[in-house]
Amino acid sequence: MKIDEILRKYFLGKQSEEELAMLQAWKLESEENLAAINQLETYWKNYENIKDYKEFDKISAWDSISEQIENPVKEEIEETQKEEAKTIAFPLWKVAASLFIALGAFYFIKTGGGAEESISQLALVDVEVLTEKALEDGSMVWFNAHTKADLSQFTKEKRTIELQEGEAYFEVQSDKEHPFVVSAGDFNIEVVGTEFNVSYLNNQIEIFVQEGRVLVMNGNRKVYLSAGDMIVGSTAAFSKKENANQNTISWKTKRLEFNNSQLSEVLEDLSNHFQVDITLKEGVDHKNCFLNTSFSEEKLEDVLSELEALFQISSHKAGNTIVIDKVNC
């Protein structure tokens, strides 16, 4: 009997005593025979381990990787980053104040609103205070104070939201079949399942990714963002930066973190977070002031008194602005 036939019977568990003996003899005939049978045995045994093995979509994956390696956004960064970052940074409350005029015509949501307020009724959002909302697909949205958004097109199958003005943080339920798209002006932000923040004020966009990956589309331009990446700018010029400042989303996380941060950056983050204007008096030397700490849910006064202890800061209030007169680092 041919060895192939015996091997086949052996691996199907149908061999006779006599065939088994022949197989043993064949195995010992040469190193090659032994190796061949061991190899086959390894394969055969391991089929039971591929039960959960899957085939991933290589074609889409390659498209996405191709796109990213052919359109690196790095070059743009150096040119625009600094200016763009500055225009973005002016305190939110100034913009917010002007938005009050637009109130009235819109559907209002207030935290703890009436029982009749179901998700599907939430066509237009115009919130005065930080508001958390669950969407039909299980995703969550946090709208920052004074934010307007259109959710009237949103369904489980077609997950689209228009952010008209303001800031929102999205925690998106994963659903590969139905991409989740947020539009803000000329920007479309597409994700599958991830967490990210979008701010859109005075035509300035700011997108920060907390977790997962996000595709940002603007006209023909496509930029992929990973966790920690951020895009700032407008349609005219926007740029990507990596390892962006986590404090961007402090309004939602209630947490401010500083790792060796320059005092000027600290004050900028505090201004944004508490929606006040904190400035250094001209000529104050703060080059050596670096802060390493974190705050969660502390009041502005508590934060200022910590800075006072660390840097011997003295300050005074002038209208809506807090002016730092002196530091000693």
Partner 1 sequence: MKIQTKEDFKRVFDQLYNPLCNFSATILNDEAGAEDVVQEVFVKLWNKREELDVSGDFKSYVFQAVKNKSLEVLRKKKSDLRHLESAIQVAYVDRDTPIQRELDNYLLKEKLYNSLRQLPPKCREIFEMSKLEGLTYGEIADVMKISPKTVETQMSRAFKILRNFLQ
Distance CA 269, CA 41 (A): 63
Segment near partner 1 (CB under 8 A); pick from 26-34, 65-73, 83-91, 128-136: 65-73
Size of the site for partner 1 (CB under 8 A): 40
In the bound complex, what is the minimum distance in angstroms from residue 211's beta carbon to partner 1?
A: 7
Decide: is 227 part of the binding site for partner 1 (CB under 8 A).
Answer: yes
In the bound complex, what is the minimum distance in angstroms from residue 35's beta carbon to partner 1?
A: 12
Distance CA 29, CA 328 (A): 87
Tell me the CB-side half-sphere exposure of residue 33, using CA atoms within 13 A.
12
Decide: is 62 part of the binding site for partner 1 (CB under 8 A).
Answer: yes
Decide: is 192 part of the binding site for partner 1 (CB under 8 A).
Answer: yes
Torsion of CA 248, 242, 73, 270, to 10 degrees: 30
Segment near partner 1 (CB under 8 A); pick from 35-43, 91-99, 119-127, 243-251: 35-43
Is 232 in a helix, a strand, or coil?
strand
In the bound complex, what is the minimum distance in angstroms from residue 237's beta carbon to partner 1?
A: 23
Contact assessment for residue 290 and residue 262, using Cβ atoms and an 8 Å cutoff: yes
Decide: is 1 part of the binding site for partner 1 (CB under 8 A).
Answer: no
Query: Exposed e or buried b for every residue in 11-46, given b needs 16+ CB within 10 A?
Result: eeeebeeebeebbeebeeeeeeeeeebeeeeeeeee
Binding mask 260-299 for partner 1 (x = CB under 8 A): ----------------------------------------
Q: Which of 25, 28, 61, 119 binds partner 1 (CB under 8 A)?
A: 61
In the bound complex, what is the minimum distance in angstroms from residue 125's beta carbon to partner 1?
A: 23
Measured from the CB atom, the residue of 71 and 292 that comes closer to partner 1 is 71
Task: For 79, list phi and psi in degrees, rounded to 5.
Answer: -65, -45
Decide: is 254 part of the binding site for partner 1 (CB under 8 A).
Answer: no
Residue 322: alpha-carbon gap to chain centroid: 32
Measured from the CB atom, the residue of 58 and 317 that comes closer to partner 1 is 58
Decide: is 32 part of the binding site for partner 1 (CB under 8 A).
Answer: no
Measured from the CB atom, the residue of 65 and 237 that comes closer to partner 1 is 65
Query: Exposed e or buried b for every residue in 281-306, given b needs 16+ CB within 10 A?
Result: eeebebeebbbeeebeeeeeeebbee
In the bound complex, what is the minimum distance in angstroms from residue 248's beta carbon to partner 1?
A: 17
Q: Which of 1, 24, 31, 49 binds partner 1 (CB under 8 A)?
A: 49
> At which residue do the structure tokens 């390696």 appear?
69
Distance CA 228, CA 212 (A): 9
Is 191 in a helix, a strand, or coil?
strand
Interface ranges with partner 1 (CB under 8 A) = 7-8, 11-12, 14, 40, 42-44, 46-58, 61-62, 64-66, 68-69, 72, 174, 176, 192-193, 211-213, 224, 226-227
